[in-house]
Amino acid sequence: MRTQVAIVGAGPAGLVLANVLLRAGVDIAVVERRSRAEVERRARAGLVEHRVVEYLRAHGLADRLLAEATRHGWCDFLCTGRVLRFDYGAQSGGVRHWVYPQQLLVRDLVADLRKAGHDPQFSLPATRVHVAADGSGPARVECPGLDIECDYVLGCDGPHGITPLALPPQAAPQGELDERYPYDWLTLLAEVDRGVPGVVYAVHEDGFAGVMPRTSRIARLYLEIPAGDATARWTAARVHERLRTRLAGAGAAVPRLGRIRETGVLRMRSSVRQTFQHGRLFLAGDAAHVLTPSGAKGMNLAVADAADLADALIRRYRYGDEAYLAGYTSRRLPEVLRTRDLAAGFLDLLHPQGQHPADRRAELARRLERLSELAEPGAAGAAFAHWYVGAGPDLPAPHTAAPRESTP
């Protein structure tokens, strides 16, 4: 097969890239190792930033999201028995999140590609990527029974995919770009008796707990556990008991929990590659950087990567602008690192550490003071609100003219 752009991975980054490039007249091919059913039911993120929704709206990719998603502009911090309401919608000037599960967004983006006659090729893993370090082409993606020759390869297949392996060894995360935290999060998808009205962050002496809205009958929950702990030790009874302890005092903000549908463990770490590109290979989303879920930035950063990379490729095909494409890492890496640092600060706020109960109680008192500062209108709360809700910077606007022909 010959195409202009080969995209490996049909998650949010890969599907946004495919749709935006295709609508700009760039020929694309998408391969994905999982089946379509697996991709469209894989529950991950749920909070979509304001700027991401505006970008999808501008490209005609948000119709169903706008019709079905709910809006959220506040969250509750629960600490030492007190509930602090953080109205980030008001503190950011009226900007709010959209609550729309990632699997629904993926379903919509797949449907958009199918309407355009460019179905992703599911259940087709890429096994090898060939790119020249000097950027000479063409590039090639090998799959079972199919070789794709292309101008560029876009790696959107996650941190353990095949495309990151094509980067040189010195691009791997190391030093301050690779951090492991001293705890993990047990992740739960649970049935609830009513919709979760807003995000709840519980900062407790026993450990962190979080409740996130998803649908009217499903909620995502997080529970701090010791680093390296296994799900086998966390029976349903033990999970419910810990959640009751840590969420005590949240009141109406937490619905009654029912059957736990899904359990997993997030190994809490952040990992950012030294570069997101090599020759004609460009990485986006989790293939380039993995952040903790604090602040719900993973999927949103992935779409921001895709927006920048799509804009750069359209400039390349339309105007022959290779310099802008070459600057992809230099543009994206600072935002990724800034987001990682802010998310790490937020994570620290939610996890008071200490070996003895007295130490933890002292840490909780300090956390309560900081959370109170964020909840009260002021400079600190406004700055955090803008970052948390994704009030800017804006993502690239659509291009309208037809692109130039490919130059291998």
**CATH assignment at residue 13:** 3.50.50.60
- 214 and 235 fall within a common domain: yes
- 157 and 201 fall within a common domain: no
Per the domain annotation, does 396 fall within a domain? no
Decide if pLDDT at 131 tops 50. yes
- 190 and 257 fall within a common domain: yes
Say which residue the tokens 């600072």 belong to.
Answer: 334
Residue 122 phi/psi, 5-degree rounding, is: -80, 165
Binned at pLDDT 50, 70 and 90, residue 368 comes out as: very high
Say which residue the tokens 């590039």 belong to.
Answer: 139
Per-residue pLDDT, averaged over 397-403, amounts to 69
Per the domain annotation, does 84 fall within a domain? no
**CATH assignment at residue 245:** 3.30.9.10
- 288 and 309 fall within a common domain: yes
277-278 and 281-283 beta bridge pairing: antiparallel
- 119 and 244 fall within a common domain: no
Full 3-state SS string of 343-396:
HHHHHHHHCCCCCCHHHHHHHHHHHHHHHHHHHCCCHHHHHHHHHHHCCCCCCC
Domain boundary among 348, 372, 400: 348
- 34 and 146 fall within a common domain: yes
Write out the two tokens for 189. 């998808």
Per the domain annotation, does 121 fall within a domain? yes
Binned at pLDDT 50, 70 and 90, residue 399 comes out as: confident
Q: How many domains does the chain have?
A: 2
Give the pLDDT confidence score for residue 407 in this predicted structure.
46
Instruction: Give pLDDT tens digits for 227-276.
Output: 988 887 888 889 889 988 999 888 767 888 888 888 889 899 999 999 99
- 254 and 188 fall within a common domain: yes
For residue 359, the tally of other CB atoms under 10 A from its CB is 12
- 290 and 170 fall within a common domain: yes
Distances (CA, A) of 327 to 232, 257, 323, 343, 351: 46, 48, 6, 25, 37
Identify whether the C-beta of residue 149 lies closer than 8 Å to the C-beta of residue 2: yes
Per-residue pLDDT, averaged over 331-338, amounts to 95
Burial (CB count within 10 angstroms: exposed 0-12, middle 13-18, buried 19+), residue 180: exposed
- 288 and 170 fall within a common domain: yes
Residue from 125, 167, 96, 149 nearest 9 by CA: 125
Instruction: Give pLDDT tens digits for 96-108.
Output: 999 998 999 999 9
Per the domain annotation, does 395 fall within a domain? no
Instruction: Give pLDDT tens digits for 22-67.
Output: 999 999 999 999 999 999 988 778 899 999 999 999 999 999 999 9
* Structural domain span for residue 264: 180-269+352-386
- 311 and 361 fall within a common domain: no
Per the domain annotation, does 89 fall within a domain? no
- 41 and 119 fall within a common domain: yes
Per the domain annotation, does 19 fall within a domain? yes
Write out the two tokens for 239. 């999970």
Instruction: Return the bridge partners of 143, or none.
Output: 146
Give the pLDDT confidence score for residue 402 in this predicted structure.
54
Decide if pLDDT at 17 tops 60. yes
Per the domain annotation, does 79 fall within a domain? no
Binned at pLDDT 50, 70 and 90, residue 408 comes out as: very low
- Sign of the C-alpha dihedral computed for residues 326, 27, 106 and 65 taken in this order: positive
- 257 and 186 fall within a common domain: yes
Per the domain annotation, does 156 fall within a domain? yes
